[in-house]
Structure 1
Amino acid sequence: MHSTLTATKWRISSIDILRGLVMIIMALDHVRDFFHISAMTEDPTNPATTTPILFFTRWITHYCAPVFVFLSGTSAFLSGQKKTKKELSAFLLKRGLFLIVLEIVVINFLIVFDPLYRFIGLQVIWAIGVSMVLLSLLIYLPIRVLFIIGIAMVVGHNMLDGFNYRNMEDIPLWYAFLHQQLFTTYGEGRFFAVLYPLIPWPGIMLLGYCMGTWFVKEFDPVKRKRLLLGWGSAAVIAFFFLRWLNVYGDLVPWTTQKDTTTTILSFFNVTKYPPSLLYCCMTLGPALLALIWLEKVKGKWSEIVMVYGRVPMFYYILHFFLIHMLCVVAFFATGRPLSDAASGNFAFRPNDFGFSLPVVYVVWIGVIAILYPICKWYNHYKSTHSQWWLAYL
């Protein structure tokens, strides 16, 4: 009995470690947005203008959103082991609606620092919220049916690429919600953006929910590792094979560039908005393989990383607030006048403001270090208290 309980705890810890890793990496991209000199004026993944290190700085963070959404589905399944289907459905519905409101009211403010909400963007928390609402309705279906729906959304949604609108002004709101980014106005001087079109995010969450069946204590750990290895390897192989064919699976084909290095960058520069099939294969495949290794990981570093993974939403909110506040400090420390505070996309972040990439990495490490004791305290508080709101944050 003792070994079974230990194995169960360790399997769940591997999920927390992986989630913690992607949360840490995610902060790098957001620090880059606020602190890198070219973040507001250049695309870091454009092979024609980027550098390998800048490309990698952006590319490595591609793993964050899909892995987080996927593991959210896994966590939903595991939490459902202690609930009836009706209780789990009700919880997912309420938490999904909560996340949608959180995105609009809190996250938008922390990113832009505008109490008048002259910019509202629907990003990853919105996509997670809607996916949870849909999951709350679908969990009554058999796991095999949920898997088929998830696979169909992830593999087949690029068929919609041919229906995308050439001009953003022509995109209907309903289609933007589903499959194509939209930037528009909703009043004089007010802007609205669908930054994370919905499809295939619910499919990714459904697949993560299905994977939860591999992590219950009754499941054979040898079989679980074999499944993780098989599906993870298949996704990685599918990425390289389909990307090489250059026919299906991504909105933007790769092209031969001026040299080998930039051609390689073009090959790996897959579409995130919405996440293409190849994007999902490139990120979720290695994530499944990582879960095999993380089951055997021991050491202080894994315990530290696990702290971030156990309080992801709390961390997510705090890290945006901290990064933006540090940007405000840097804004005034560099002698910028207050009149420049509203000249960029974010308050106190003019488009011509910023620093070199090494500074971005230093700030990123500082953000992670500052948040650790706060997240550790909250993780302890959450594990020793039972207030209803703790399940939502």
Structure 2
Amino acid sequence: MSDKHRLISLDILRGFIIILMALDHTRHYWAITPFMPTDIENTTPAWFFTRWVTHFCAPLFVFLTGISAYLYGEKVQSKLQLRNYLLSRGLWLVFLELTGISFSWQFAFDIVFLQVIWVIGLSMIILAGLIYLPLSWISVLAITVIDCHNLIDDDHFLAVLGPQFSWLWHLLHVPTAANLTAEWQLFIVYPLMPWFAVMALGYCIAPIFKRDSTFRCKTFLSIGLISIALFVLLKITNFYGDPKPFVEYTSNIKTFMSLLNNTKYPPSLLYLLMTIGPGLILLALLERLTQVAPTRPWLAWLQVFGGVPLFYYLIHIPVINLSAQIYAILQYGRTVQFLDSADNWPALYQPNLWLAYSMWIVLTILLYLPCKHYMVTKRTSQHLLLKYL
């Protein structure tokens, strides 16, 4: 398969997962609930699976970034150029997360969110150094971190570091919310481990793209099926891999939800097996589909979103946020903030999942033309800023 077709399959998968990501963000603003959607004791299957299906987004996005980094290195045939690209791009992403993206979540500068864009940027900076190691070494490091980070005793490290330096471990492995000053809060949602290892693993698996399509699809399919089988085996035996145990309920659907209910912050071994495994299977299917039916309109539609993922990310949060707040003011007389407790929500507010899905579809359609226009502009313009969006 040509380089063009390889990138098309990656763009289509990337487009699919960022649209799924928007579903979760739409739910946050348009249908925030007083309970966690993955809290089996209080949720419903509809709320649970609406949240669960979006679990695929972050790990696959980070994983695909590693693949894209390797393919870029193959294109330029220069470690120096690849290193400089990863460093500059990584620093740019961290800057965006700390400034515009954090602002867009609440339309305020008093809260900084360290989320997926931050961890992608930081992981790219780390990968800029790792690329000088043999692929086998990077693979061992990535697999070791992913497999073993659940063994870490976080309480021990936090105690050793003490109150003065515990923030270091929070940045590395333990999500937290901290009051930096009386008026400034920091939410560490995506600590570095094991996300950088997920990106490194994507970088290491990318040489498969040098092989023919049949071999590539069979390999992705095999790895995906093995990952799913290993996930199920480890989960149902409660042997290792996630802090949340598998529980057999009297209800079959609750038992199934327990199987799928795994830890994202930080992502456990089972969480990554559960998401990256099916992601590789989907990538294999998309590669085959782009060969046998490359003109399907929905493939081209997904490719547009996947071709400008950062641009889409930057515009979709403020659009979802602003539209939800306007609706809330018109409906309830004031806004509904997802960081507020349920006691502070308007008395008439009730979470409506159908409303969230409806607005997700509407907003996705509305953002298509801006993304398509930007994609065309980016491909035809030599402006430096467009390279980084």
Does the pair score TM above 0.5? yes
Counterpart for residue 370 of structure 2: 374
What are the equivalent positions in structure 2 for 1:2-81 lying under 5 Å apart? 7-38=2-33, 41-81=34-74
Query: Displacement of 1:81 after TM fit?
Result: 1.8
1:332 aligns with 2:329: yes
Moved more, 371-380 or 8-17: 8-17
Question: Is the 1:27–1:319 contact (alpha carbons within 8 Å) kept by the matching residues of 2?
Answer: yes
Cα distance in 2 for residues equivalent to 1:51 and 1:373: 35
Does the Cα contact within 8 Å between 2:29 and 2:338 map onto a contact in 1? no
**Residue equivalent to 2:203:** 209
Q: Secondary structure at the match of 2:5?
A: helix
- Alpha-carbon contact 1:161-1:251 (below 8 Å) kept: no
Is this contact kept in 2: 1:20–1:305, CA < 8 A?
Answer: yes
Structure 2 residue identity aligned to 1:42: F
1:281-322 superposed Cα distances (whole Å, 9 cap, x missing partner): 000001111111101223111010110001000000110011
Q: Distance in 2 between matches of 1:279 and 1:354?
A: 31
Q: Percent identity, aligned pairs only?
A: 38
Tell me, yes or no, if structure 1 residue 276 matches structure 2 residue 268.
Answer: yes
Q: How many residues align?
A: 376
Indicate conservation of the 8 Å contact 1:242/1:249, yes or no. Answer: yes
Give the distance between the partners of 2:338 and 2:183, measured in 1 at CA. 14
- Partner deviation per Cα, 1:266-289 (whole Å, 9 max, x = no partner): 221000000000000000001111
Q: In structure 2, how many angstroms separate the alpha carbons of the residues matched to 1:229 and 1:74?
A: 17
Say if 1:141 and 1:37 are closer, same or farther in 2 by CA, change over 3 A.
Answer: closer
Report deviation, 1:233.
1.2
Report the counterpart of residue 116 of structure 2 in structure 1: 124
Shift of 1:351: 3.8
RMSD: 2.1
Which secondary structure does the structure 2 equivalent of 1:98 belong to?
A: helix
Counterpart of 2:238 in structure 1: which amino acid? N
Match of 2:232 among 220, 231, 240: 240
Query: Could you say if the C-alpha distance between residues 327 and 24 of structure 1 is closer, same or farther in structure 2, counting changes exceeding 3 Å?
Result: same
In the TM superposition, 1:167-316 aligns within 5 A as 172-216=166-210, 219-297=211-289, 298=293, 299-316=296-313
**2:39 is paired with a residue of what secondary structure?**
coil
Matches within 5 A, 1:95-174: 95-114=89-108, 117-161=109-153, 163=155, 172-174=166-168
The answer as to whether partners of 1:45 and 1:269 remain within 8 angstroms in 2 is yes
Matched-pair contact (CA < 8 Å) for 1:119–1:191 = yes
Counterparts of 1:166 and 1:178, CA distance in 2 = 11
Consecutive unaligned residues in structure 1, runs of 5 or more: none
Cα deviation for residue 221 of structure 1 reads 2.1
| SS of residue matched to 1:325 | helix
Classify 1:345/1:164 alpha carbon distance in 2 versus 1 (closer, same or farther; 3 Å). farther
Give the SS at the match of 2:370.
Answer: helix
Look up the SS of the partner of 1:296 in the other structure: helix
Letter of the 1:300 counterpart: P
| Residue deviations 1:219-276 (CA, integer Å, cap 9, x gap) | 2222212221221111111100110111210122122335222122122100000000
Shift of 1:190: 2.4
From the superposition, tell whether residues 70 and 58 of structure 1 become closer, same or farther in structure 2 (CA, over 3 Å): same
